[in-house]
Amino acid sequence: MQSGMQTVNWSGLSNEQQVSLLARPAMADSSALTNTVAEIISAIRSDGDKALLDYTKRFDKLEGETFTITDQDIKQAGARLGDEIKEAITTAYNQVVKFHTAQVQEVITVETMPGVVCEMHTQAIESVGLYIPGGSAPLPSTVIMTGAPAQIAGCSRIVLCSPPPLADEILFAASLCGVNEIYTVGGAQAVAALAYGTETIGAVDKIFGPGNSFVTEAKRQVSNDFAGAAIDMPAGPSEVLVIADQDADPAFIAADLLSQAEHGHDSQSILVTPSQQVAEQTALEIGKQLAVLERREIAEKALAHSVSIVCEDINQAVEISNRYAPEHLIVQTKDPRALQPQLKNAGSIFLGAWTPESVGDYASGTNHVLPTYGYTKTYSSLGLADFSKRYTVQELSADGLRRLAPTVTCLADAEGLTAHKRAVTIRMDKLNK
């Protein structure tokens, strides 16, 4: 079986061809998508629970008249699950908790000059919404990646939405993460409910989690509305780039490329290597491994717009990677740690032959909610800070104000802000008396 990936020589391409080669797969018809999502959001804002129930029955085949998951539902889900899967979910949860707990920020206190004390405080966002995609397989890992940081940050209200039917694995993971409310609704309608609220679902301050193009567009629209909700990050289809030298194992490379390709038909997998032989052997390995995949058809579609790039050397491979700015970056070279300082744009980096991207997806401890579509140039992987907000505190003594007053009054004069100046001078007059 052929791999389906094209192989190209980077140095033989013009600049325009290089740009085209690194372009992401085209998104769905944006104007039609935008209008459809806007209509759904408008209906939820107007008709609340009624519209939410109608959409959930129409799109997700919900049975019954309620989309609220009860405590009893959660207990029964845990009882139905086997010990092996519960232990795996618990281990993954503990790993993520350990890594994210290390990100807790202490109060920063600095005396910038005698009598002038400045502080930086971190406070949890009060209410957050977690969107967990539905589809062909449950995603308890995404519950952990969004729920555990919210729990550690101390968010007082954690709301989870996911299309019906909710798998027992999702409910069990949610219980570990201290999720307060769970609703079996999905799609753009769930995002709208979280952003604006309905009779049953109270609005949240910020929405987290990946989803399909409708969910992504809904998150974009509500985040652009001052009456809506903030979101974690812009996102698109999943992607991976592998940098491999001549000694890399083609079977490992193929497995990593396919693990991303099976996510969806619009996912993208890229190999960059200075070795023509590694590129050719990886193509053969992909063909072999495709044959045993349950999601082979999906992976084949993704591979159709994936590419194997043969470059001049590893330094050029790094340049190509930084230019593409992948969501996941796997480095299979002789000394991967030595390359790490040069890798400027990536959501999550996996160093060495024994670090498949799968460990980050599930249980190494890092977060798998990552920016895609080149946004790693400006956005970060999801972390504890995303569930918190920062604010500053300052406190001056009388002597501190006396020392700082000349600077403040001079700058206020320069900007023509008399009231700003007087807020200082009126105090100084009292001190001088």
Q: Determine the average pLDDT of the residues in 288-316.
A: 95
- Per DSSP, 270 falls in state E
* Whether 273 and 219 share a structural domain: no
Of the three residues 231, 254, 271, the one that is the final residue of a domain is 231
Task: Decide if pLDDT at 1 tops 60.
Answer: no
pLDDT confidence of residue 2: 58
- Angstrom CA distances, 26 to 23, 124, 237, 260, stand at 8, 37, 10, 17
For residue 10, is it within any domain? yes
Count of CB atoms within 10 A of residue 14's CB?
8
* Whether 90 and 18 share a structural domain: no
For residue 383, is it within any domain? no
* Whether 68 and 166 share a structural domain: yes
Backbone conformation region of residue 135, classed left if phi is above 0, alpha if psi is from -120 to 50, else beta: left
pLDDT confidence of residue 194: 98
* Whether 81 and 220 share a structural domain: yes
* Whether 66 and 203 share a structural domain: yes
Cα(184)–Cα(182) distance, integer angstroms: 7
Domain holding 288, by residue range, is 6-26+237-363
Backbone conformation region of residue 244, classed left if phi is above 0, alpha if psi is from -120 to 50, else beta: beta
* Whether 72 and 98 share a structural domain: yes
Lowest mean pLDDT among 20-29, 270-279, 386-395: 20-29
Peptide bond into 165 cis (omega under 30): yes
pLDDT confidence of residue 234: 83
Reduced to 3 states (helix: H, G, I; strand: E, B; else coil), residue 414 is helix
Tokens representing 67 are: 């989309």
Task: Decide if pLDDT at 279 tops 90.
Answer: yes
Pick from 392, 332, 320: nearest CA to 356 = 332
For residue 173, is it within any domain? yes
Cα(178)–Cα(289) distance, integer angstroms: 39
Predicted confidence band at 53 (pLDDT cuts at 50, 70, 90)?
Answer: very high
Tokens representing 13 are: 């391409």
Q: Which CATH number is 425's domain given?
A: 1.20.5.1300
Of the three residues 184, 215, 231, the one that is the final residue of a domain is 231
For residue 73, is it within any domain? yes
Q: What is the pLDDT of residues 16-43, one digit of tens each?
A: 999 999 998 766 568 899 999 999 999 9
Q: Which CATH number is 130's domain given?
A: 3.40.50.1980
Instruction: Point out the residues that are catalytic.
Output: 327-328
* Whether 152 and 171 share a structural domain: yes
* Whether 187 and 86 share a structural domain: yes
Which three-class secondary structure string do you get for 93-129? HHHHHHHHHCCCCCCEEEEEECCEEEEEEEEECCEEE
pLDDT confidence of residue 213: 86
For residue 384, is it within any domain? no
* Whether 64 and 10 share a structural domain: no
Instruction: Tell me the whole-structure pTM to 2 decimals.
Output: 0.94
Of the three residues 231, 258, 285, the one that is the final residue of a domain is 231
Q: What is the pLDDT of residues 107-134, one digit of tens each?
A: 999 999 999 999 999 999 999 999 999 8
Scan for tokens 């990100």, then name that residue: 103
* Whether 78 and 222 share a structural domain: yes
Question: How does the average pLDDT of the chain come out, rounded?
Answer: 95
Q: Is-contact 148 96, C-beta < 8 A?
A: yes
pLDDT confidence of residue 134: 85
For residue 113, is it within any domain? yes
Q: For the chain, how many structural domains are there in total?
A: 3
pLDDT confidence of residue 206: 98
Predicted confidence band at 137 (pLDDT cuts at 50, 70, 90)?
Answer: confident
* Whether 102 and 126 share a structural domain: yes
Q: Determine the average pLDDT of the residues in 168-175.
A: 97
* Whether 242 and 104 share a structural domain: no
Strand 116-124 vs strand 127-131: parallel, antiparallel, or unpaired? unpaired
Q: Determine the average pLDDT of the residues in 237-245.
A: 95
Helices (H) and strands (E) in the chain, counts: 17, 14
pLDDT confidence of residue 30: 82
pLDDT confidence of residue 271: 98
For residue 124, is it within any domain? yes
For residue 370, is it within any domain? no
pLDDT > 90 in the chain, percent: 91
pLDDT confidence of residue 344: 97
pLDDT confidence of residue 80: 97
Predicted confidence band at 4 (pLDDT cuts at 50, 70, 90)?
Answer: confident
